[in-house]
Amino acid sequence: MELNVVDVEATCWDGQPPPGSVSEIIEIGLTVVDLRTRERRSRHRILVRPARSTVSAFCTDLTGLTQAEVETGVGFAEACRTLAAEHAARSRPWASWGDYDRHQFTRQCAATGAAYPFSRRHANAKAVFTEAHGLRKRPGMAAALRIAGLPLEGRHHRGEDDAWNIAALVLSLADQDAWPMT
């Protein structure tokens, strides 16, 4: 069974957004995981051009993404169509680290009229990891990698790299028979 592991980066600010601005997805990272063979099969990146905000200096410091870079991206509706058409997002189960990514897509689809690109089969990898490791507090992805004894590959807070790292955590959970979608 294949699983899409998704991580998004969105416009953000150190404090409140400027008047009229809203947080919007600017990068979608996706790693395809084969749960049967226990492999990360492929990694993908979709840059998304924001329509109602700009990339702040704070956001660039956090993600490495610049306004000039995201301007080369596609519109949000096109990104959603790409997820559905090229990554079987409507039929394949998917996972993210926490519920932020799922909620951000729900909010942004409602605000823009874009078709929600994913199936209803979503797993919160952070919740699964927390339960499997008997933790009281849900760790961030980087802390979870340390707990699992896995390296952080690439740049933290970069969608493509974070999806790749979350996929490693999912496979670690699957190896422990703790992943719910096998």
Q: Which residues of the chain have pLDDT under 50?
A: none
Tokens of 132: 């499997």
pTM: 0.97
pLDDT of residue 181: 78
pLDDT at 182: 61
Q: What does the pLDDT read at residue 118?
A: 98
Domains and CATH numbers, the chain: 2-175 (3.30.420.10)
